[in-house]
């Protein structure tokens, strides 16, 4: 009997110690004492993998955590130990396109209690959300968003978000028809170590330099001559090929350009909405240049009806459709195109040209 009592008492002590340990651990975790920084890295197979530990360095090229440098191009997101839940909520809202909600969530955060790293994260989420809210026709003006994005860049030159912020600033400058300033930002982007932004910077430089064939072709050729063979590079090579054909079609040999663009349309995968919006806009531009109004209309209508998810290219198509419908004496349709452009993309460069 005594032995049974001793066994029971011993078991109760073990249970008590374990329960006490778990309780203390839960309490510590609830106060963030056991929390760690986290870097979520994109996996080639989809989803992401998390590295936990202490972040010791952040730069435009990547984030060092637990002694390991994760390149910026591979990072899905970064979280910080003991960060307020509203930061994560705002981050989720930004990543799912709910930019006004993201800005609202950030307004609930007491920035005086944030670490410098957390504040930089909050400032980027706000800057990016305001830029996208503006570019997608929301209530934020390009001037307001541009001021916030420029402030983020100036105050956080070592942020891993630097290149995405530079891209947004370039787009906002373009929206207000400051091509010179936009090209300055895209030139910085083209020097990035982050392939996606490096390639997009070169593409944007080429598209903004269409009036100067030498400069435009040099930008497109810098993409086409890239030796990388990853999916991102292959996409940008197709985009550069498309825009080179557009550029050639605006010159002395439109027939060859139209043939090349139609061949790409016939052979490439139309699930690539970005590429096909570029292709049909390029085809429309060449036909329009040569006063082939019906062919130009048909090309731009493909972007309008099939690839409207590509907002900037859709706005371009709507602008040109408003002009082409007028040429074809379809005044009602011209008015619809103008109204759609002004309502959906009111802050865009193309709406400003109406």
What are the extents of the domains in the chain?
Answer: 190-249, 257-354
SS3 at position 222: helix
> What pLDDT does 42 receive?
81
Q: Say if residue 261's pLDDT is above 80.
A: yes
Per the CB < 8 A criterion, the answer to whether 300 and 284 are in contact is yes
Residue 318 in tokens: 């709507």
The 10s digit of each residue's pLDDT in 287-345 is 999 999 999 999 999 999 999 999 999 999 999 999 999 999 999 999 999 999 999 99
pTM for the model: 0.87
Looking at the chain, the whole-number percentage of residues with pLDDT higher than 90 is 85
pLDDT at 43: 76
Average pLDDT of span 264-287: 98
Q: Which residues are bridge partners to 55 per DSSP? A: 65
Measure the CA–CA gap between 239 and 272, rounded to whole angstroms: 11
Q: How far apart are CA 124 and CA 103, in angstroms?
A: 11
d(CA 21, CA 25) in angstroms, rounded, equals 6
pLDDT, residue 10, reads 52
Structure tokens at 310: 């590509």
Closest CA to 293 of 261, 325, 260: 325
Task: Concatenate the DSSP letters of all residues of 61-104 into one string.
Answer: TEEEETTEEEEGGGEEEEE-TT--HHHHHHHHHHHTT-HHHHHH
Nearest residue to 195 (alpha-carbon basis) of 160, 231, 162, 238: 231
pLDDT band at residue 47 under the 50/70/90 scheme: confident
Give the pLDDT confidence of 86-139 residue by residue, as tens digits. 999 999 999 999 999 999 999 999 999 999 999 999 999 999 999 999 999 999
Rounded to whole angstroms, the Cα distance separating 80 from 93 reads 17
CATH 1.25.40 fits 257-354, yes or no: yes
Reported as a single tens digit per residue, the pLDDT across 143-171 is 999 999 999 999 999 999 999 999 999 99
Average pLDDT over residues 59-78: 93
Q: Distance (Å, rounded) from C-alpha 274 to C-alpha 281? A: 11
pLDDT in tens, 172-220: 999 999 999 999 999 999 999 899 999 999 999 999 999 999 999 999 9
Nearest to 242 by CA among 168, 323, 299, 196: 299
Place of tokens 């910085």: 188
Residue 30: predicted pLDDT = 40
Examine the pLDDT at 5 and tell me if it is beyond 60: no
pLDDT average, residue stretch 21-47: 60
Say if residue 21's pLDDT is above 80: no
Residue 159 main-chain phi, psi, to 5 deg: -70, 145
CA gap 110, 66 in Å, rounded = 28
pLDDT tier at 48, thresholds 50, 70, 90: confident
pLDDT at 19 over 70: no
Amino acid 25: pLDDT:
38
């Amino acid at each position: 009997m005594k032995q049974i009592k001793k066994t029971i008492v011993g078991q109760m002590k073990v249970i008590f110690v374990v329960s006490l340990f778990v309780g203390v651990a839960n309490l510590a975790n609830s106060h963030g004492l056991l929390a760690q920084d986290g870097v979520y890295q994109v996996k080639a197979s989809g989803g992401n993998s998390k590295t936990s530990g202490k972040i010791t360095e952040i730069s435009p090229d990547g984030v060092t955590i637990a002694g390991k440098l994760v390149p910026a191009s591979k990072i899905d997101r970064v979280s910080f130990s003991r960060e307020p839940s509203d930061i994560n909520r705002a981050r989720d809202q930004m990543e799912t396109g709910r930019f006004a909600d993201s800005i609202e969530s950030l307004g609930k955060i007491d920035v005086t209690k944030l670490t410098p790293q957390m504040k930089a994260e909050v400032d980027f989420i706000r800057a990016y959300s305001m830029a996208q809210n503006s570019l997608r026709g929301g209530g934020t003006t390009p001037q307001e968003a541009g001021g916030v994005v420029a402030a983020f860049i100036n105050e956080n030159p070592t942020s891993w978000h630097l290149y995405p912020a530079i891209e947004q600033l370039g787009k906002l400058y373009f929206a207000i028809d400051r091509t010179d300033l936009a090209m300055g930002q895209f030139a910085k982007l083209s020097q990035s170590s982050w392939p996606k932004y490096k390639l997009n910077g070169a593409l944007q430089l080429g598209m903004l330099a269409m009036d100067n064939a030498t400069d435009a072709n040099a930008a497109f050729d810098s993409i086409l001559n890239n030796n990388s063979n990853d999916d991102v590079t292959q996409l940008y090579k197709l985009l550069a090929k498309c825009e080179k054909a557009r550029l050639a079609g605006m010159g002395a040999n439109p027939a060859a350009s139209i043939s090349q663009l139609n061949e790409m349309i016939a052979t490439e995968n139309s699930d690539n909405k970005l590429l096909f919006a570029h292709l049909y806009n390029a085809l429309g531009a060449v036909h329009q240049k040569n006063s082939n109004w019906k062919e130009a209309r048909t090309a731009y209508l493909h972007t309008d009806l099939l690839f409207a998810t590509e907002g900037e290219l859709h706005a371009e198509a709507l602008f040109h459709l408003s002009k082409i419908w007028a040429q074809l004496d379809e005044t009602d349709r011209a008015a619809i195109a103008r109204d759609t452009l002004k309502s959906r993309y009111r802050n865009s460069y193309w709406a400003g040209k109406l």
